[in-house]
A and B are shown apart, each in its own frame.
Chain A
Amino acid sequence: GAGVSQSPRYKVAKRGQDVALRCDPISGHVSLFWYQQALGQGPEFLTYFQNEAQLDKSGLPSDRFFAERPEGSVSTLKIQRTQQEDSAVYLCASSLARTSGRGNTGELFFGEGSRLTVL
Chain B
Amino acid sequence: LAKTTQPISMDSYEGQEVNITCSHNNIATNDYITWYQQFPSQGPRFIIQGYKTKVTNEVASLFIPADRKSSTLSLPRVSLSDTAVYYCLVGERNTGGFKTIFGAGTRLFVKA
Interface string of A89-119 (1 = CB under 8 A from B): 0010100000110111101111111000000
* Smallest beta-carbon distance A84→chain B, Å: 21
Neighbouring A residues of B99 by C-beta, 8 Å = 45, 48, 56, 58-59
Q: In the complex, what distance in Å separates the CA atom of A113 from the CA atom of B40? A: 11
B30-67 interface with A by 8 A CB criterion: 30-32, 34, 36, 41-46, 49
A108 and B42 contacting across the interface, CB-CB below 8 Å: no
Q: A91-B43, A112-B42 are in contact. List 6 more A-B contacts (CB 8 A).
A: A48-B97, A48-B98, A50-B97, A55-B97, A103-B91, A107-B34
Residue of A55, A59, A93 touching B96 (CB-CB under 8 A): A55
A74 within 8 A of B: no
Q: Which residues of A contact B46 (CB under 8 A)?
A: 107-109
User: Assuming A100-B96, A100-B97, is B43 touching A4 (CB within 8 A)?
Assistant: yes
Total contacts A-B at CB 8 Å: 82
Q: Does A1 contact B (CB under 8 A)?
A: no
Cβ distance B94 to chain A, nearest Cβ, rounded Å: 6
Interface residues on A, range: 20 to 34
Q: Which residues of B contact A4 (CB under 8 A)?
A: 43
Count, chain B residues at interface, CB 8 A: 30
Contact B94 A105 (CB under 8 A): no
Indicate the member of B34, B89, B98, B105 with the most A CB atoms within 10 Å: B98
Q: A104-B32, A108-B44 are in contact. Are A42 and B98 (CB under 8 A)?
A: no
B residues within 8 A CB of A43?
A: 44, 102
Q: Is the CB of A103 within 8 A of B43?
A: no
